[in-house]
Amino acid sequence: MDKKRSCAYCDGTKELTNEHVIPECYLKTLGPTISIVKTPTEDQAIPNAQEIGDVCAVCNNGPLSLLDTYLASLSQQHFSKIVHPGDRIRFSYDFDQLLRLVLKLGYNVARTRGWPLAVFREARQYILGKEKCPPGAYSGDVNGRFQRDVNGHSGHVNKVGAQRRWDYNHARHLRD
């Protein structure tokens, strides 16, 4: 008896669709791309965007698509202009959405590369926007142990959705 494949994000067994490992909206801004794919014998370069066929349409066209749209807006606002030494820019972002996006990208790459998935599996409901951020999903030290302050956050991020400025001259965050 064949085991029916399930969605990598929600474990649903509906028909699976192809998920772009790197969101298509971002790849369009980069132009022609080359993806490195893992084959049974070696890594190979292929001249197109890599996809993985293990995400249901509900997840792919719903919450994951919203994260792709967020990346597209960040790309248009912040990554479409060349920053020169000495320039100062204001990089505003929603911490929660950005973290969910980064975890989604990491999970997509890890699945295509055959890397360990345990950390990402714990964060799937968070990536989909259905649960709060799981403990340890960000800010780790070199030993892989996660550190947080008394409010459950790390570094200089005081709350979800915090707006931050980045001073590229001095490589540090500035307070608003």
DSSP-based three-state secondary structure for 161: coil
Nearest Cα to Cα of residue 46 among 32, 36, 56: 36
Q: For residue 140, is it within any domain?
A: no
Q: For residue 112, is it within any domain?
A: yes
Domain count, the chain: 1
Q: For residue 94, is it within any domain?
A: yes
Q: For residue 107, is it within any domain?
A: yes
Q: For residue 37, is it within any domain?
A: yes
Predicted confidence at residue 113, as pLDDT, reads: 86
Kind plus residue range of the DSSP H or E element containing 50:
none
Predicted confidence at residue 75, as pLDDT, reads: 85
Q: For residue 154, is it within any domain?
A: no
pLDDT in tens, the chain (176 residues): 446 799 999 999 999 999 998 888 877 776 677 777 777 788 888 777 788 999 999 999 999 999 999 999 988 888 778 888 998 888 888 999 999 999 999 999 999 888 999 989 999 999 999 999 877 666 543 333 333 333 343 333 333 333 333 333 334 444 43
Using an 8 Å Cβ cutoff, are 146 and 129 in contact? no
Containing domain of residue 99, as a range?
1-81+89-131
